[in-house]
Chains A and B, each alone.
Chain A
Amino acid sequence: MGVKISWDSQAGKGLDAVEVYRSKTKIDPANPGTPLATLDPSVTSYEDFTAVNKNLYYYCLAAKKGTERSFGNSQLTGYFSETGPGNSTIARGSWNSGFMDRVPSASFITGPDLAAKLTGLIYSGNPGSPSSWFKFAYKGRVLFFPDTAMFNTTWNRFYEAGMVFGTDDFGKTPAGVPGSVNQKRVVEINGLQYIVRLAKLSDIDLSKYLTLQDDTIASEYRSTLTRTLRATVETQAGALRRLGDGTTLPIMLGQHLYSATQAAYAPAGAPATLGAAAITSNISTAVVLELIMP
C-alpha cells in the first residue's frame, strides 16, 4: 500500500528542507497549498501511505531555503492495486491517457470465449479472434480494446444485449430513453469483472447527435486506441501524440447516435472520422472492455 517517490540527493545545496506536495490537480507553484510532508534535506525518498486506492495524484517537490521555495514539476501518478492482465504501469503517455501494454489473447480472453460469456447477444457468423488486446489507462480507468472486429451485428442488438452504454440504467439518446434494457453488461474473466460496451467516440452529451468530426476530439477513443496508429493514418484534426506505429484498426461502433435511425462509428481506415450505420444494419465492430476495479 502507498506510493513511493524518490529523487536525487539534494544534500550539499544548503537547503533547509525538502517539501512534498500532493494534489488531485496539477500543483501551482504560486499556490501550492500545505505540504504533505516536510523532510530533512538529506532525505531522498518518501512513501505516501495516505494515498487511496483507485486515485490519481500529482506530486511535486519543493526545495525550501528560508522563506523561498523552488518547485519541481508536478508528477502524475496513478495508485491502482489491480489493473488486470498485462503491464500494471504506463509504458507511454500518462495515467490520464496512456498505453499500458499489448496483452496476448491467451493471457486475457479469446474471441470465442468472450462470445460465450455474452449470452443473449445476437450476431452473424463467427465472433472475431483478436490476437491481442490493447490495454490503456484513461482518466483513472483501465480499458481493453481488441485488435480485430469482434461481432457482426447491429447497434439495436447491442442495446438489446445491454452492451451499448456501460451505465447502470437504460441509456440515453436524443429521442429519449431507447428501451428498457439495463446497459451495464458485466462479464467475469479470470476472477475480475469487466463492463462490455461500445466506445465513447465523443465527449458530447448522449442527448445530442454526433455528426461532426470536431466533436470526437479528446474523446475516450481519440485519447486511447487511435493513438496506436501512425500519424499518416490518423491525419484528422485533434490527433494526439502517437503511442504506436500501427496502420489499421477495426471498425469501432460508438454509443452516440448519428441520426434518429443511424449510429455513429469510427471507420477502420480513418478512425478519427465519423461514419453512420443504420441501427438495424449489421456492422462488424470491435467492443470495449472496461475493468471494474475491485
Chain B
Amino acid sequence: MALRLKWDNPNVVTTKTTIYRGDAPLDNTNLPAPLVTLDAGVTEWVDNGAKFGNTYYYILGSKTDFDEVLTPNQKILVADNRGVGPSTLLLGDDSLGFFGQVLSSDFVNSTHILAVAATTSGLPGTTFTPVWNKFIRKGKIIYVPDRTFGTTAWTALYQAGFVYGVDANGPADAALAGLTLTNQNRVIDFKGYKYKVRMLRGITDRPLTLDLWNAQKSNQEQLPAPEDNEFNDLVYPLMWPVPLKYQRLPNLFEDAPDAFLGAPWNAYDSTTANNLTLTNRIWCQERHPVATAAASTVCARGVRSAVYGATAYPYTADHLSAMAYNAGNISCYWMPVLELVEDSVTVTKG
C-alpha cells in the first residue's frame, strides 16, 4: 500500500520540501533525517514505504538555504481515507454503517453551506453549528447533522441548488415543472475533499414513480414491506424512539427528537397546533412525479408533537416514522446533508 501526500505551497520564495515521518508524534526540535527532500515546485509525493492499517505522523518542511519552516504533526491512517472524520466503522458495514461524529469546528457549519448556494434567497440566515454524524450507506459517505437548520420553503432550497445533489437541474425521475430551474450540484471544498450539499431521500432508493408515490402511508411503519430510504436509515438511529419495523441500525444516540422536530408543544390553541403539525416536518428530496406548480407537493418526514390541550404529548416512534406530502412553497424544516464526492476528474495539462 502506498500513501499519496499532497500539499499547497503558498511561499513566494523558492523552497524545497522536506518530508519527515514517525510512528509517534515527532518532536520538531529533534527531527529524524527526512524521508525525502523534494525540489521546488513539487506538491505531491507518494510514500511507498507506508503500510496499510498503520498510523503515521508526518511533518512537512519548507526549506530555503537559510531556514526551514515546519508544519504541525499530521496524523494519517493508511487506509482508504474517505472524507473528514473517523475512517473505521463503529458498527454496520459498507451497505449501512456508522463511523462516528465530526464537530462543526473540525468541519463545516451552516455558513459554509450558505456560501455555496446558487442564491440564499429565503434560506434561514441563522448560524447552525451541528455535530455531523458520518455514515456510509450503499457505499456513499454521508454526513447527517444532529439538528435541523430552521424552516424554509422547499422551492427556495431548490433554487439554492440544495435538493438533489446531481450535476443537473434534477435527476431523471424528478418532475421540475413550476420551479426556477437551478443546477443542483453545490459543492463544498474542504481540506482536499469535495462534499455535495443535498437533502435526504424520504421515500425510496428506487427511481420515483407515481405508483410508489401513491403507495405511501402517513406512517411508514404501516407499509407492508420495507421501502429502504435514507431518512429511515440515517435519522431514526439518532434519537431514542425506535420505529419497530423499519429502523435498521441500533440506536447510535438516545437524543430527544426536539433538536430535529421541535420540543413537544401544547396549548388551548387548535390553529397553532394544526399549523405546527403541518409545517414542523423535515423536507426530503422527493417531489410529486407529475408536479405542475410551485405549490405541488413534496415529501416531508417526521412530525412535531404539538397538541391542543393542557399537557404536552411526549414523542413516540410514530413521530419519527410519520410522512406527509406538503405544498412545496410552505416552510418546513431544512436538514442539509453532505455527501462525499469521490469520483475525481483528471485534468491533463496542455
Q: Which residues of A contact B (CB under 8 A)?
A: 7-8, 29-30, 68, 70, 72-76, 91-93, 102, 227, 230-232, 240-245
Contacts and interface: CB of A to CB of B under 8 A. Distances in A.
Nearest to B95: A75
B80 A70 contact: yes
A29 B88 CA distance: 13
A237 to B, nearest CB: 16
A75 B242 contact: no
- The secondary structure that dominates the B interface is loop
A241 B252 contact: yes
A63 to B, nearest CB: 9
B224 to A, nearest CB: 13
Nearest to A243: B250
10 contacts: A29-B52, A30-B53, A72-B94, A76-B93, A91-B246, A92-B247, A227-B250, A232-B254, A241-B252, A243-B250
Contact of A92 (B2, B97, B248): B248
B251 A73 contact: no
Contact of B93 (A29, A30, A75, A242): A75
Contacts of B52: 29-30, 70
Contacts of B91: 241
B325 interface: no
A75 B242 CA distance: 24
Given A30-B53, A244-B242, 10 more contacts: A29-B52, A29-B53, A70-B52, A76-B93, A91-B245, A230-B240, A230-B254, A240-B250, A241-B252, A242-B251
Nearest to A102: B244
Contacts of A245: 240-242, 316-317
A242 B242 contact: yes
B237 to A, nearest CB: 9
A91 to B, nearest CB: 7
A123 B213 CA distance: 53
Nearest to B140: A8
B174 interface: no
B89 interface: yes
A29 B53 CA distance: 8
A8 B95 CA distance: 10
